[in-house]
Amino acid sequence: MFVEFEKSADSDYPITLLQKAGVDLSTPKPIVEALKVFEESLDMLEAVII
């Protein structure tokens, strides 16, 4: 799927290509989920540093 996504990079608008790849940026859900993962990563980093 990723290879198909990469090959089609110049053929459509980015938001449409992402939808075809299963990421719907017309809703806040993917951003919220990505921020949760980032927050978890920061928490793990903080635990190692402190």
- In this prediction the pTM is 0.63
Which range of residues forms the domain containing residue 35? Answer: 2-49
What six digits make up the tokens of 33?
């989920």
Give how many domains the chain has, as a whole number.
1
Which pLDDT band holds residue 1 (cuts at 50, 70, 90)? low
- Which pLDDT score is estimated for 45? 96
- Which pLDDT score is estimated for 22? 86
What six digits make up the tokens of 24?
């719907």
Determine how many CB atoms are found less than 10 A away from the CB of residue 18: 16
Q: What is the dihedral of CA 40, 15, 26, 41, to 10 degrees?
A: 0
What six digits make up the tokens of 46?
């903080």
